[in-house]
Structure 1
Amino acid sequence: MSQKFIPLSVPNFKGKELEYVTHAIETEWVSTGGPYVNEFEEKVCNYVNAKGAVSVQNGTSGLHIALKVCGVTREDEVIVPTLTFIAAVNPVKYLGAEPIFMDCDDSLCVDPYKLMEFCRMECTFINGKLINKRTGKHVKAIIVVHVFGNMSSMDKIMKIAEEFNLKVVEDATEALGTYYTNGIYKGKYAGTIGTVGVYSFNGNKIITTGGGGMIVSNEEELLKRAKHLTTQAKSDELYYIHDEIGYNYRMTNLQAAIGIAQLEQLEDFIKIKEVNYKLYKKFINEIPGLEILNFNENIRSNYWFYALFIKDDFPLKRDQVIKYLSSNNVQVRPIWDLISEQQPYIANQNYKIEKSKTYLAHIINIPCSSNLSTEDVLYVIDCLRNVHNKK
């Protein structure tokens, strides 16, 4: 059995990436201008059936702009998940606003029932504004993260948002390609249901441009403002007139060239990742004390990351499993530490954080690259099976 190093999640460049990048270089369109940027925006927009898309440097800058076009200011608060990567929360602070941390449900996404309870019990709704009883501040928005390519309960969350006049920013940085297969949002892609959606093309995402991200929305005025803000807020490009503070967030033509080639392969990547996920699930769920967590039944997931749940009766605890697999050349990682317990946010309000703590203590992510071979998957499974057999 192979003893080669098996990485957690790495890019897969088997398409026309080199061809398109070479063309960009030969035509000398390498910076934030160039035809590939517009083409990539259009193709992402068409893929997810959104009205428009605006490219950005990364998912974090996309979330920053998404919150800004939703009108979030330093006078406001934003509901955020505690079980997520910190980049989903930091943009709230970029704008001087404050996050309120929410627990997850068994999908690892925001718990809609606790969200509703918080809005009804901890806030008052006055003159179209949700006011936090504790702080007196306006709770203006919620950031919904579609964790690991799963889909949050958008039907419930959108009803809550409508009832309490909340803007919904969908952090779909992990969920490009995930969509509902039934229900009221059947056919709707992650990122296209809320007010604004954001994708990431970081190196470990299902498709990558090295860095890069994309904002999508079905509200044309928000898209227009996002485009304005991400290109230094020029009101007159010839004479360099700027009407507000803008940002240098535009994607480069080189990144977009890679992105187009990657997008052409996205559905194939998803098929590969689904096959490997099911292979893992078939054999790992037979090992006492281990379980591969499910994706929601009413979605077609992109199967970005696989979550291995280590039960209390497994011979090794989370950190011991990480150390053991690492010693066998298998790269794994724990789920993110809770953001509400991180130093910058320790004083912020949180609401009934319970289930997130359980998942933090028991979940690791295992190799899931789209170029992962069947042999690699079986090797990881054998490593885990050997732990149980040696107990």
Structure 2
Amino acid sequence: MSIPTAKSDRFDVRAVVAAVQRAVGTPNGTLALHEPVFAGNELAYLDECIKSTFVSSVGKFVDRFEDMLAEYTGAKRAIAVVNGTAALHTCFRLAGVEPGNEVISPALTFIATTNAIAYCGATPHFIDSSLKTLGMDAQALGTRLDAIAQRKPEGTINRETGRRIAAIVPMHTFGHPVDMDEISAIARQWEIPLVEDAAESLGSTYKGRAVGSRAQFAALSFNGNKIVTTGGGGAILTNDEELGRRAKHITTTAKLPHKWAFVHDEIGFNYRLPNLNAALGCAQLEQLDGFLKNKRRLADAYDRAFANIPGVQFAREPEGTSSNYWLNAILLDEAHASLRDEALTELNAAGFGARPAWTLMHRLPMFSESPRGDLSVSESIERRLINLPSSASIQARDD
């Protein structure tokens, strides 16, 4: 895929800072990249939870939190766990990922996606991203599988490595949904399970439906910097009742129900979300619609502020989707990519907690030998992307 050239030879780092100031004003101190908002029933629910003495993985708030997630997303089951990485790890286990397998993943992702693959003893296989979505590129996925994949009785095999390709894991970068229809069609064509990494995208929709609501397996995160937080937490979404039951079982140390006996029928994980964290999550979910409204208003303010700035563009949600705009992002034109760090320095000096994209996974030493396709778009995004302050509490300017 070709990388767009600069729209203009004129580019001024100071104009980037001025645009952010037009959108959100001049901060008093530092405006964080993304911080939680506690403006509802958090204290009341935490107090109730503490007084109940049920503060670990059993209690009414865990059950309520799971029910609220299932209702909000439209998934049949939601299983609350300790973090998004644990949710992904469990999804991969349920999908049948085993030691010696490969899992196809974007190179542009947070390391949790790739670590969860490694926890299974599998190898990540990196695919390029799309400039439209910032997530896995369906065309790149199809091209790569056509080049290296072969159907055999034991599954889809990478002809170059001899390893079974056990799963495909698209991730909705910064809350922007990827092209799930095309990626799902490719997964079905090759009979490869799909695990949806929706860690950043609670509240985002794809063609009118919540992300994660159509996949056999999807993972959410409620880390302290997410749109809804439980302090640390995650969840597994599934539309398969039996898989939901099994997910809850293996994340509860695979313990068989009994009044007093400790019998475990397989290797499980101590991954269940504590009731204390779930109490916080219930209060946060009650406010999610308000968070989304504020964040979309902020995204619109950034979009207007950068509309006429040469050499830079604001990353809008893909057509046919609604993003939660978890993190707002701008992309410098390729010709100005060398000025990204200067722009980051100036933004942070002005009190804006801006940051670059993650280091691409294949550049990290533990994954440097992993198989990969052409990653030219991911490498371009990495060079020139800047995330801007995105908290739901930020009061965007209307002018």
So what's the TM-score if we normalise by structure 1?
0.92
* Corresponding residue of 1:154: 180
Following the alignment from structure 1 to structure 2, what is the Cα–Cα distance between the partners of residues 315 and 193?
Answer: 37
Contact 1:322 1:333 in 2 (8 A): yes
* Corresponding residue of 1:189: 210
Following the alignment from structure 2 to structure 1, what is the Cα–Cα distance between the partners of residues 246 and 337?
Answer: 54
Instruction: Give yes or no for the alignment of 1:166 onto 2:192.
Output: yes
Instruction: Give yes or no for the alignment of 1:78 onto 2:103.
Output: yes
Moved runs in structure 1, 4+ residues, more than 4 A?
312-316
The secondary structure found in structure 2 opposite 1:90 is helix
Superposition deviation, residue 234 in structure 1? 0.6
| Residue deviations 1:12-48 (CA, integer Å, cap 9, x gap) | 0001111111110111111111110011001100110
Superposition deviation, residue 3 in structure 1? 3.6
Following the alignment from structure 2 to structure 1, what is the Cα–Cα distance between the partners of residues 384 and 347?
Answer: 15
Contact 1:3 1:328 in 2 (8 A): no
Which of 1 and 2 has higher RCO (CA within 8 Å, sep 6+)? Answer: 2
* Corresponding residue of 1:62: 87
Following the alignment from structure 2 to structure 1, what is the Cα–Cα distance between the partners of residues 126 and 396?
Answer: 39
The secondary structure found in structure 2 opposite 1:167 is coil
1:214-225 map, 5 Å: 214-225=235-246
Superposition deviation, residue 312 in structure 1? 4.6
2:59 maps to which of 20, 28, 34: 34
1:201 maps to which of 217, 222, 236: 222
The secondary structure found in structure 1 opposite 2:45 is helix
- Does the C-alpha gap of structure 1 residues 74 and 20 become closer, same or farther in structure 2, counting only changes over 3 Å? same
* Corresponding residue of 1:210: 231
Instruction: Give yes or no for the alignment of 1:335 onto 2:357.
Output: yes
Superposition deviation, residue 177 in structure 1? 1.0
Contact 1:119 1:130 in 2 (8 A): no
- Does the C-alpha gap of structure 1 residues 218 and 5 become closer, same or farther in structure 2, counting only changes over 3 Å? same
Instruction: Give yes or no for the alignment of 1:235 onto 2:260.
Output: no
Give the counterpart letter for 1:23 in structure 2.
E
Following the alignment from structure 1 to structure 2, what is the Cα–Cα distance between the partners of residues 75 and 283?
Answer: 49
1:93-172 map, 5 Å: 93-106=118-131, 107-127=133-153, 129-172=155-198
More off after superposition, 313-322 vs 247-256: 313-322
1:362 maps to which of 367, 376, 384: 384
More off after superposition, 83-92 vs 287-296: 287-296
Following the alignment from structure 1 to structure 2, what is the Cα–Cα distance between the partners of residues 288 and 97?
Answer: 44
Where do 5+ consecutive residues of structure 2 fail to align?
1-25
Instruction: Give yes or no for the alignment of 1:257 onto 2:279.
Output: yes
Contact 1:140 1:165 in 2 (8 A): no
Superposition deviation, residue 285 in structure 1? 2.1
Number of aligned residue pairs: 372
Following the alignment from structure 2 to structure 1, what is the Cα–Cα distance between the partners of residues 336 and 189?
Answer: 44
More off after superposition, 353-362 vs 322-331: 322-331
The secondary structure found in structure 2 opposite 1:322 is helix
1:316-335 map, 5 Å: 317-335=339-357
- Does the C-alpha gap of structure 1 residues 204 and 332 become closer, same or farther in structure 2, counting only changes over 3 Å? same
Superposition deviation, residue 194 in structure 1? 2.0
Following the alignment from structure 1 to structure 2, what is the Cα–Cα distance between the partners of residues 316 and 22?
Answer: 51
Following the alignment from structure 2 to structure 1, what is the Cα–Cα distance between the partners of residues 31 and 264?
Answer: 49
The secondary structure found in structure 1 opposite 2:362 is helix
Contact 1:236 1:242 in 2 (8 A): no
Percent identity of equivalent pairs? 37
So what's the TM-score if we normalise by structure 2?
0.90
Superposition deviation, residue 313 in structure 1? 5.6
- Does the C-alpha gap of structure 1 residues 124 and 21 become closer, same or farther in structure 2, counting only changes over 3 Å? same
- Does the C-alpha gap of structure 1 residues 112 and 313 become closer, same or farther in structure 2, counting only changes over 3 Å? closer
Following the alignment from structure 2 to structure 1, what is the Cα–Cα distance between the partners of residues 184 and 310?
Answer: 39
1:295 maps to which of 317, 320, 332: 317
- Does the C-alpha gap of structure 1 residues 231 and 315 become closer, same or farther in structure 2, counting only changes over 3 Å? closer
Give the counterpart letter for 1:75 in structure 2.
G
- CA RMSD in angstroms comes to 1.5
The secondary structure found in structure 1 opposite 2:169 is strand
Where do 5+ consecutive residues of structure 1 fail to align?
182-186, 379-391
Contact 2:175 2:201 in 1 (8 A): yes
Contact 2:337 2:383 in 1 (8 A): no
